[in-house]
Structure 1
Amino acid sequence: CFILTRSHSRGPFSLPLFTQRVALSQGPNTSTAKIRLRTRLVVTLLFGGGLLGTWWYVRKEKQQNHQMQRIEQLKKVALGQGDFSLLDHRGHRRTKRDFLGSWVLLYFGFTHCPDICPDELDKISAVVSALDKDRSLPAVQPLFVTVDPERDDVAALERYVKDFHPRLIGLTGTPEEVKVAGKDYRVYASPGPKDEDGDYIVDHTILIYLVNPDGLFLDYYNRMKDDVQIAESVRNHMKSYVKLSE
């Protein structure tokens, strides 16, 4: 759009005719360009957001499908599939069903163990305490099952568990009951020869087992794993957990 009348004014606020024409001609085009730019940005953001949302949905579906496949595989693994019936360190009868709905860190050992068992129980206690600091995570239940029922009765376990995490539960029973519990997790245990004082060492499997709220074995940790690594692993299992459908 051009102004056809010529102005000869030379006042302080007047513009040369050519400048006025350029200003008037560029104004609408500049506004249109800005609108087009905004429109392109909005479209780009919407398109990018749509792609991101689709990617997140597909990733979530993939993770859930993988977890369900993992659950089906675990159900077929002959490990921790049975039940146990043992006495806790307060003399109460406990079974595996009592711990359904809780995450469990399970360890098999004996109270006369000179160093390995205390080290592993200290490690479990550190893991549980570390996870307790994250209020978004469910509490973990630590369990200690003896492989030496001859010496580890209820009273012995009560004295022993006091040295570790306050939620630690000690479990014992008859030799047959203990054997059944250990066999379910493929735990090896063999008492060594007795010395002149009647003392002996029990050679046994040294593993910490992770059991999910459905009672399924999920993972295990050997002596090479420290408390930080175990806590991180448990945390990841919790975040990817999918409840087993009834």
Structure 2
Amino acid sequence: MSPRKLGALAGGIFAVVLAIVAIATMDRAPLGGPGQGSGTAAIGGPFTLTDEAGAKVTEADFLGKPTAIFFGFTFCPDVCPTTLFELSGLIDKLGPEADKLNYAFVSVDWERDGPEELASYTSSFDDRIRGLSGTEDEIETVTKAYRVYYKKVPTDDGEYTIDHTASVYLMDKDGRFVGTLAYGEAQDSMLEKLKRLIEGA
């Protein structure tokens, strides 16, 4: 196996471990509950990013409907395409109800991912998944607000991969955090969470 493939494999394994740690340590409110009450970690907040058309987007653009938001990057070898493929499948299973949710994919790779790259990447999945990019400062702001872990890791070929939180964050219609879809979680469980998120709206 080439050094690049070994690096990508190691990055993918580490991302899965991060997802498990994130779920084990994240303080979450019960899905369908009131959102962020006492004892619940503050996740979410103001941000400014750029969509696939080059337009500026803020957290206010996602209010009014619940949101499923995932952080990754287009060069991701496995976790990101797997997650977006699964999310596309869930959207399909929701049928017409799927339009009652927002879906966002935020790239943490500000050096390589811009509107054009995000548009090309998300076109492989459901067209309702909105790709968002930003400058280093903008990505720092949104990842801190959502308590997303990410770290650039050099690979042997002189390039880099990025280790990152592998969970999909679920926000209610008022922008309050209510839970996650874990990487590798059973599809039936994830589908039930999305249905409850819609019902709670």
Scaled by the length of structure 2, the TM-score of the pair is: 0.78
1:185 aligned partner: 146
The aligned length equals 172
Structure 1 position 167 matched with structure 2 position 131 = no
Tell me the residue number matched to 2:180: 220
The structure with more strand, counted as a fraction of residues: 2
The alpha-carbon distance between structure 1 residues 90 and 195, as it changes in their structure 2 partners (threshold 3 A), is farther
Larger radius of gyration: 1
Residue 35 of structure 2 aligns to a residue in which SS? helix
Aligned residue for 1:70, secondary structure, equals: coil
Partner of 1:128: 91
Pair 1:111 & 2:74 matched: yes
In the TM superposition, what is the alpha-carbon distance from 1:102 to its structure 2 partner?
A: 1.3
> Are 1:176 and 2:140 matched, yes or no?
no
Q: CA separation of 1:109/1:90 partners in 2, compared to 1, >3 Å: closer, same or farther? A: same
The reply to whether residue 140 of structure 1 matches residue 104 of structure 2 is: no
Q: 2:49 aligns with which of 79, 83, 86?
A: 86
* Bigger RCO (CA 8 Å, 6+ sep): 2
Q: For residues 6-61 of structure 1, what are the alpha-carbon distances to aligned partners after superposition, in whole Å with 9 as ceiling and x for unaligned? A: xxxxxxxxxxxxxxxxxxxxxxxxxxxxxxxxxxxxxxxxxxxxxxxxxxxxxxxx
Distance 1:94 1:117 in 2: 22
Separation in 2 of the partners of 1:212 and 1:221? 14
Q: Aligned partners of 2:177 and 2:36: how far apart in 1? A: 12
The Cα of 1:195 is off from its aligned counterpart by: 3.5
Letter in 2 for 1:229: S
Could you tell me the percent identity over the aligned residues?
A: 34
Specify the code of the residue in structure 2 equivalent to 1:177.
E
Alignment CA distance shift 1:69-1:156 (3 Å): closer
- How far the C-alpha of 1:77 sits from its partner, in A, is 3.4
**Contact 1:102/1:139 (8 A) holds in 2:** yes
SS in 1 for 2:34: helix
- Change in CA separation of 1:138 and 1:158 when aligned onto 2, cut-off 3 Å: closer
Q: TM-score, normalization: structure 1?
A: 0.64
1:14-163 matches, within 5 Å, as: 70-71=34-35, 73=37, 77-80=41-44, 82-134=45-97, 139-163=100-124
